[in-house]
Structure 1
Amino acid sequence: MAEKEATVYIVDVSKSMKQHNHGRDISDLDWAMRYVWDKITTTVGTGRKTAAVGVVGLKTDGTKVPLDDDEGYENITVMQDLGQVLMPDIRRLREEIKPSHTDEGDAISSLIVAIHMINVYTKKLKYKRKIYLVTDGKGAMSSDGLGDIASKLKSDNIELIVLGVDFDDPDYGFKEEDKDLRKAENEALLRGLVEDCEGVYGTLAQAIQELDTPRVKVVRGIPSFRGDLRLGDPTRYDTALRIQVERYYRTYVAKPPSASSFVPGGDPSQPSASIQTLEAGKDLDANLTNVRFVRTYHVDDPTVAGGKRELEREELAKGYEYGRTAVHISESDENITKLETTAALELIGFIQADHYDRFMNMSNSNVIIAQKTNEKAALALSSLIHALFELDCYAIGRLVVKDGKNPLIVLLAPSIEPDYECLLEVQLPFYEDVRSYKFPPLDKVITISGKEVKEHRNLPNEDLVNAMSKYVDSMELIDKDEEGEVIDTIPMEDNYSPLLHRIEQAVRWRAIHPNEPVPPPSERLTRLSKPPKDAQERAQKYLDRIIHAADVKKVPPKTKGRKRNRDVDKPLSGLDVDELLHREKRAKISPTNAIPEFKQMLASAENVESIKDAASQMQKIIEDHIRNSFGDSNYDRVVEELGVLREELVDYEEPGLYNEFIRPLKEKILKEKLGGDRQELWWLIRRSKVGLIDKSVSDRSEVTEEEAKEVCILTPLRK
């Protein structure tokens, strides 16, 4: 269970925070709120009720404090009481946190208000308590009772973090020139308070800069297996080895936050055929309604209206394909397909480490440790780990994580670190899981007669091999420090998932700024999208050598409509082979050899009419193949023919001929005029992207991208 947290943010909203200092294009308050909003939205994103947040406005126009007497606390307002913050609270705070019309208000008094809020909310319970004070340090600030406040913060275990706008920070290397004398005194006062209560003091510039560093979620370990590690059968032999162990993830894919489906606007009282709306939750946007999906099952039944009868899920039964038929196995007999297994990790053998192929790893890695608080198990497992390490061996085990679960074959490797020992575990494949592919060798060419050729135009010469070797060495992501020690230029702790953190960044930003564009991703997320600059500079000369040795030439881009005004390729001899062989130009395309003959007919076309004739014949052949298809036997052939027809008509700059065919084709499929229900074929056509030719594909097309997408959807065409 996650720790309980109580955090109060004190935000200075004085009139002076409206200024734009040091060349910034936004006000000091908006700049400071970048940090505050990031912290609040991160907390909101967790959805935890135990993460309480409060917001106190400093130097506000009014006064609102949870104290009996507000004397001495003027111009301090509690904008958000401690508790779980939701989206409506964020929208309200966005409207309330604005620069005020006064610079009156004491930051030290606001700390007392925050301490009171935390103590009232947390009582004597175990909480992680924090107070963030964000201010520009201007205006009057009382120094009375600072020692008592520092003692109170320490005794209540409250961490104080003071972040100042343009505060001097020698550790960060920032110093504001020509600083106002009062601001300098206030900075010294706050720094002394923070040092007395052992808090954190810094300039806001450093805090905002650190926002680019993604925050990695700390995951609490949950065992995926608890049981015995066995060597031998303890039910039959007294000498069998049994060690109580636990299994935890070592690596696991961190997935980005998932999105739910909602209906934007519209009338939720009229659900569609496949989606039924539910009553909007109180935390949802007023323009959104959450939805749920309904799945229905039908079978052909000519005795009911529409020819299809709807079934309930309880009426369904499992069937296993056996050849062209289905074999039914009832639920009562389902246990015959399952293995009777008992949860355990059983050792079945050992293998030398140098005999194991790393490509056999099939899963996330896990760690096997001894049962906590079990000293006997820890000693026994440590003996096994050290024995494997000293003999340079791995163990092979059979793992069943729960009674009745399918068994897994796993590899157990010893890992000994200064502060802990464990077994690293990965899943191994069964024989059916292995894919063995054969590829031609890269260092020789084998002719049809079986002769091996070492020098060939498709094989790299010695100069190219040497150039590539130098290039690879120059691109190594390692460096040396001042003492000559090798260091990793991109360590694992700086390698963040761009997908995960980019989505989280976009969601947090849009929650606060619903109508503003999302800012670009931070440099820390994009740094791994390209090689480091110094590595590129170091490797450039070797890359130039590769280009020269491999004789690399730039391939010109493929031109659209290249065949419309083409020059027919002529042989070097200048002879017309077709004329010499008295070969007639093709006038009819055979359905059995449609694609080659269609291309031949287009190649000999002398005018647009010939192109139209070839396209018309091809279209009729495609419709006949659909009409005569037994089930889906001709579907792949039809999709291939449509792809060739589409590509050739784009090249000959006649996209209209194809579009005029696709629209009626869809209508015939929907109305079952081509041999029955062929809707699955239209789904294949859409998936293969052989629908309408739009303007992005051919400049001569009159179809927009939106029209092309609309026609691809399996709905009746508009008249």
Structure 2
Amino acid sequence: MAQKEATIYIVDVGRSMGERRHGRSVTDLEWAMQYVWDKITTTVGNGRKTANVSVLALRSDDTSNELREDAHNSNISVLSRLGQVLMPDIRSLRDSIKPSNTNRGDAISAIVVAITMINEFTRTLKYKRKIVLVTNGTGPMSDNGLEEIQKKIVSDGIELAILGADFDDPEYGVKEEDKDPHKAQNESLLRGFAEGCEGTYGTLEEAIAELETPRIKAVNPMPSFKGMLRLGDSQKYDTAVQIPVERYPRTYVARPPSASSFVPVSKTTQEEEGDQKPSHGDALTAVRMARTYQVDDPSAVGGKVDVERDDLAKGYEYGRTAVHISQIDENITRLDTFACLDLIGFISQDKYDRYLHISNANIIIPERANDKASLALSSFTHALHLSSFYAVARMVTKENRAPLVVLLAPSINAGYECLVEVQLPFSEDVRSYQFPPLDKVITVSGKTISEHRNLPNQDLQEAMDNYVDSMELDHKDELGNDVLPIDESFSPLLHRIESAVRYRAVHPDNPILESPEILTKFAHPDEELVKNSASSLENLISKADVKKVPPKTKGRKRQRETEKPLSGLDVDALLNQEPKRANISPDNAIPEFKQMLSRAENIETINGAVKQLCAIIESQIKNSLGDANYDRVVEELGTLRDELVDYEEPALYNDFLRSLKSKILLEELGGDRRELWWLLRRSKIGLIDRKASDRSEVSEEEAKEFLSPN
């Protein structure tokens, strides 16, 4: 279970925080809120109800806190109480956190108010308590009773972090020139206060710079197996060995947050929920998925009839036939298994191929708080390590689950021992593919050729070897650091999406910020490596005789010269000797349409072919029983669009599609055919714009607007 947390952010909103200093384009408050918003939105993104957050405003215009009767606690306002933060709270805070019209307010008193709020909320329960103060240090501060406050923070187990705009930090290399004496005195006071209660003190510049480094999410893994590691059958033999163990994941794929579908809230829904004017982001409602099942029935309207899910039966394909197996019969095919981890053999480490892994790695550790199990598993692990063997075991994670064959490998580090477990394939999981050899060519007669046009010669092989060697990553830079440290390589997909979602939650109307350099540093090869390997690459290009392929010409089918076959036989000329097709058959429309276009000698023939296919499409729509012909119409329209793009006649297609949309919406093609228009929109079969064809007069905006629902 996730640990309970109570965090209070004290934000200095004094009048001086609204100023821009040292050439920055943002105010001190906006600069400080970059850090605060990042922390708050990260908490919101986790979605944990046990992560409680509160925000206090220091040097605010009014006073709103539980200790307001004391004059020292004036100009301190509670903007949000401790509790789970949601999106409405972020919007409320975004509107409330603005520079005030006063510089009055004591930062130490704000910390006292935060301590009181945390103690009242957490009481004596086990919580992770934290107070974060962000300020520019220009307001008044009192040093009365600092020692008592420090003792209270330490005794209550509260973690204190103080971050200041332009605070001096020799370790980070920040020093403000011509610092105001009052601010310097406040910095000294805050530094001593933080150090006295074992807190953190630093400059805001360092904190914001660290925001670009993605934070690795710490997770508490749950055991996927708890049972006995057995050697022998304990029910039959007294000498059988049983060790209580637990199984946890060692590696797990981190995936970015998934998107969900939402639609604008209708007026009816707003009235039902009593929400007359939804705010930005609230005017969306989740999409509820509904699934219906249909079967073919010629006697029903539309040729299909709906059936209930309970009436469905499970079937398995056997060739082209569906074979039904009842639930009772299917239960017979299942194995009656129970949770276990039984050793079934051992294999030498040098005889096992690592490519046989077919799962993520897990670890097997002894049962918690069981010294006897720890000693037994440690003995087994060391025995495997000293003998250079792996263990093969049969695993069933839960009762009636399918059994797995797993490999157990010893892992011994300083102060930590375990068995690394990976799944092994069954014989049906192994696929044996045969590929031709890379270093020789075997002819049909069985002759082996080592020199061939498809094989690299010795010079090309050496050039490739030199280029690969020059791009090796296992070298150091000028400072002796690794060029590619594995702990500094982060997933751009995962962290980019998360940072974009957090930023858009606070700034819904601003464009998404550019990716930080730490995410894009590995998007391109290292500049030093590219520079060192340039000569090797040029030599490789020369030896391989690499030539640039000209770009493929889009369209121009009518102007394209027919390629001559190697045999010299002109198949098109032979086909043209047959009588040319005058009409396109509705039963074979697409192939005959393409044949007519390929034999067209003038624009009139192309126009005639297009008119015939358009008439066929309209006829199929008009005579369609329900949606019976919709898929055929979509395919024919797609073919018509592609062919007229290649033949540079976008106007013919666009004119027909505009007419077709009008007839569908006016129900002139056999009734309500709006479902067909929805299929065309989903398939993105719209107008040909200038991006698809240079000869089109339709812009991209017009093409998008054309595919609107109405």
Q: Which residue of 2 aligns with 1:512?
A: 506
Aligned counterpart for 1:548 among listed residues 529, 542, 550: 542
Moved more, 507-516 or 700-709: 700-709
**1:461 maps onto 2:457 in alignment:** yes
Q: What is the deviation of 1:637?
A: 12
CA distance in structure 2 between the partners assigned to 1:635 and 1:357 by the alignment? 52
For 1:443 and 1:636, locate their aligned partners in 2 and report how far apart those are by CA, in whole Å: 49
Matches within 5 A, 1:102-121: 102-121=102-121
Counterpart of 1:650 in structure 2 is 645
Q: Secondary structure at 2:148's aligned position in 1?
A: helix
DSSP-derived class of the 2:499 partner: helix
- What's the CA shift for 1:623? 12
Query: 1:496 is matched with which residue?
Result: 490
- Partner in structure 2 of residue 11 of structure 1: 11
User: Is the deviation greater in 104-113 or in 432-441?
Assistant: 432-441
Q: Does 1:153 align with 2:153?
A: yes
Q: 1:202 to 1:270 in 2, by over 3 A?
A: closer
1:12/1:58 contact within 8 Å kept: yes
Corresponding position: 1:299 with 2:295: yes
Alignment partner, residue 436 of structure 1 = 432
The aligned amino acid for 1:152 is K
1:160-199 alignment, distance < 5 Å: 160-199=160-199
- Give the partner amino acid of 1:324: R
Contact 1:366 1:426 in 2 (8 A): yes
Q: State the shift of 1:398 in Å.
A: 1.5
Alignment of 1:342-361 (within 5 A): 342-361=338-357
3-state DSSP class of the match of 2:21?
coil
CA spacing shift, 1:264–1:603, aligned 2, 3 Å: closer
Does the aligned pair in 1 maintain the 2:256–2:498 contact within 8 Å?
yes
Secondary structure in 2 matching 1:292: coil
Equivalent residues in 2 for 1:6-85, closer than 5 Å: 6-67=6-67, 69-85=69-85
After superposition, give the CA deviation of every residue in 1:376-434 in whole Å (9 maximum; x if it has no partner). Answer: 22222222222221222222221110110011121211111112111111112222222
Quick one: distance in 1 between partners of 2:575 and 2:63?
103
Q: Does structure 1 residue 521 correspond to structure 2 residue 515? A: yes
| 2:337 maps to 1:338 | no
Please say if residues 263 and 291 of structure 1, whose CA atoms lie closer than 8 Å, have aligned partners that are also in contact. yes
Per-residue deviation, residues 418-465 of structure 1 (Å, max 9, x unmatched): 121111111122222223333333323333444333233332222222
The corresponding residue for 1:402 is 398
Flag structure 2 segments of 5+ consecutive residues without an equivalent: 622-628
- Residue 624 of structure 2: aligned partner: none
Shift of 1:333: 2.9
Match of 2:448 among 430, 445, 452: 452
Partner amino acid for 1:163? Answer: L
Cα shift at 1:357: 2.1
Q: Give 2:542's aligned amino acid.
A: H
In 2: Cα distance, 1:600 partner to 1:284 partner: 55
Aligned to 2:363: 367
CA separation in 2, counterparts of 1:638 and 1:457? 48
Displacement of 1:567: 5.4
Q: Deviations over 1:654-710 (max 9, x none)?
A: 345566788999999xx9x99xx9x99x98x99998876443222234566678779
Partner residue, 2:625 = none
> Hey, what does 2:626 align to over in structure 1?
none
State the secondary structure of the residue aligned to 2:533: helix
Q: Distance in 1 between matches of 2:50 and 2:436?
A: 60
How has the CA–CA distance of structure 1 residues 387 and 698 changed in structure 2, closer, same or farther, with 3 Å as cutoff?
same
Across the aligned residues of Structure 1 and Structure 2, the Cα RMSD in angstroms comes to: 4.3
**Consecutive unaligned residues in structure 1, runs of 5 or more:** 272-276, 627-633
1:541 Cα offset (Å): 2.3
Aligned counterparts of 2:213 and 2:364: Cα–Cα separation in 1: 32
Say which of 552, 555, 560 aligns to 2:554.
560
Label 1:197 to 1:686 Cα distance change in 2 as closer, same or farther (>3 A): same
CA contact (8 A) 1:695 1:702 kept: yes
**Against the structure 1 CA distance between its residues 63 and 483, is the aligned structure 2 distance closer, same or farther, given a 3 Å change threshold?**
closer
What corresponds to 1:231 in structure 2? Answer: 231
Equivalence for 1:329: 325
Summarize deviations over 1:492-531 as a string: whole Å, max 9, x none.
Answer: 3222222222222122111111111111222222222222
- The amino acid of 2:78's aligned partner reads V
String of CA shifts for 1:343-381, please: whole Å, max 9, x gaps.
Answer: 111222222222222222111110111111222222222
Residue 521 of structure 2 aligns to a residue whose secondary structure is helix
Counterpart secondary structure, 1:458: coil
Moved more, 379-388 or 509-518: 379-388
Change (3 A) 1:122 1:601: closer
**What is the distance in 2 between the residues matched to 1:403 and 1:265?**
46
Q: Is the 8 A contact 1:243 1:381 kept in 2?
A: yes
| 3-state SS of paired residue (1:238) | coil
CA deviation profile, 1:227-260 (whole Å, cap 9, x unmatched): 1222222222222222211110011112222333
Percent of paired sites with the same residue: 60
Change over 3 Å in CA distance of 1:23–1:639 after alignment to 2? same
**Counterpart residue number, 1:630:** none
Q: Cα–Cα, structure 1 residues 349 and 260, in superposed 2: closer, same or farther, change >3 Å?
A: same
Amino acid at match of 2:7: T
CA–CA distance in 2 between the matches of 1:278 and 1:263? Answer: 16
Matched residue, 2:267: 267
- Secondary structure, aligned partner of 1:364: coil
1:587 aligns with 2:583: no
Q: Secondary structure at the match of 2:267?
A: coil
1:274 aligns with none
**Equivalences, count:** 699
Matched, 1:530 2:524: yes
The 3-state SS of whatever aligns with 1:479 is coil
Distance 1:84 1:547, change over 3 A: same
- Structure 2 counterpart of 1:415: 411
What code does the residue aligned with 1:193 have?
A: F
Contact 1:297 1:312 in 2 (8 A): yes
User: What is the identity, as a one-letter code, of the residue corresponding to 1:18?
Assistant: G
The alignment status of 1:98 with 2:91, answered yes or no, reads: no
Q: Tell me the CA shift for residue 37 of structure 1.
A: 0.9
Shift of 1:81: 2.0
Amino acid at match of 2:402: N
What's the CA shift for 1:177?
A: 1.0
- Letter of the aligned partner of 1:45 in structure 2? G
- Report the TM-score, using the length of structure 1 for normalisation: 0.85
CA offset at residue 585 of structure 1? 7.7
Partner deviation per Cα, 1:592-620 (whole Å, 9 max, x = no partner): 99999988876664422344466678899
- Gap change, CA 1:399 and 1:656, over 3 Å in 2: farther
Check conservation: 2:476, 2:483, Cα contact below 8 A: no
SS of 2:475's equivalent in the other structure is: strand
Amino acid at match of 1:210: E
Partner of 1:631: none
Distance of aligned partners of 1:639 and 1:106 in 2 relative to their CA distance in 1, 3 Å threshold: closer
Question: Residues 53 and 645 (structure 1 numbering): CA distance in 2 closer, same or farther, change over 3 Å?
Answer: closer
Q: Distance in 1 between matches of 2:48 and 2:436?
A: 56
Aligned-residue offset at 1:581: 9.1
- SS in structure 2 at match of 1:142: coil
Contact 2:564 2:570 in 1 (8 A): no
Letter in 1 for 2:357: N
Change (3 A) 1:605 1:262: closer
Q: Counterpart of 1:558 in 2: which secondary structure?
A: coil
TM-score, with structure 2 as normaliser = 0.86
- 1:212-232 per-residue CA deviation (whole Å, 9 max, x = no partner) reads 111111110210011122222
Distance 1:291 1:145 in 2: 57
Q: Assess if the C-alpha contact under 8 Å between 1:7 and 1:129 holds in 2.
A: yes
